[in-house]
Amino acid sequence: AAATLPARPQALREQYSPSCWSPRMDSDAVIRAHLEATAAGTQRARAGTQTSLHIPYGDGEGEKLDIYFPRDTSGTFPLLVYIHGGYWQCLSKEESGFAAPPLVSRGVAVVAVGYDVAPKGHMDAMVLQVRRSLAFLVERYSGISGVYLCGHSAGAHLAAMVLSTDWTEYGVAMDIKGAVLVSGVYDLEPILHTYVNDALKMSREVAQRNSPMLCVAPAVPAAAACQVLVAVAQHDSPEFRRQSQEYGQALRAAGWSVSLLDLAGVDHFDIIEKLSEESYVLTQVRDKLLSPL
């Protein structure tokens, strides 16, 4: 067994390098394509919908929101909060509005959350920022009929941490009706042994207290009514697929309402890019989640 240990860091590096697993193009190209697709989609969304951009939810430089409003906000409306990925160290809300148009056209407000990525931001702060952004939204907009979360990759991790929040600490009544967690990381311990932690500089203690797998609480009645969708791509790595499966099972065992969706023919990147397409299966499942409203 000792002879196999030196290979472990390299094996983990590959498992936690999502771009290595795409059959569409090489690692650098798939990342460039993802940036281009999401940025272009966000520009189209900003041009075609009513927006309020760069709204501060705190004093920090990265603590800003972009909101894409439906045409009629005179009554109540559901709110979908999108939390971007980028391994907690890149991307921003500037590439996070691409999935807004299909939802806005159906009367849903969409929020893209900004947070301070590493090395400026650290894990405890990022989790706190995303939680505070939710508290800010429900305090500011009285017309919200229900909150839905959607996060991709590192954003799915942050959305999962939102599910474990004690909202009494924030002085708000939070009604999270659904969460769509896409190709996420739910146990941060393996990340400690990869290049990803070079920028994050997490200790084991930080990783443990910010691992959704270790924060699953028994579902109170309000949480039991929250529909959680854990989605993973066919061409995600075995580790990403394992993490999604085990986190979904842990939530279900604690009484949460969970669906696991294994999407064929997509990788870690186009699994989320295609949310701008009405015909995409994940778009349809997400819309079904919102359909009670």
Active centre residues (catalytic):
153, 236, 268
Which residues, other chains included, contact 262 with Cβ-Cβ below 8 Å and sequence gap of 6+? 231, 232, 234, 241
In angstroms, rounded to a whole number, what is the distance separating the alpha carbons of residues 131 and 16?
26
Sequence-ordered alpha helix ranges (H) in the chain:
7-15, 27-48, 100-104, 123-140, 154-163, 197-200, 204-209, 221-224, 238-253, 270-273, 281-290
Q: Is the peptide bond before 119 cis (omega within 30 degrees of 0)?
A: yes
CA trace torsion 215, 77, 82, 268 (10° rounding) = 100
Beta bridge partners of 182: 152, 231
159, HSE (Cβ side, Cα atoms, 13 Å)? 32
Residue 64 near residue 55, CB atoms below 8 Å? yes
Looking at residue 170, what DSSP letter applies? G
Looking at residue 114, what DSSP letter applies? P
Which is it for strands 64-69 and 109-113: parallel, antiparallel or unpaired?
A: antiparallel
Residue 68 near residue 104, CB atoms below 8 Å? yes
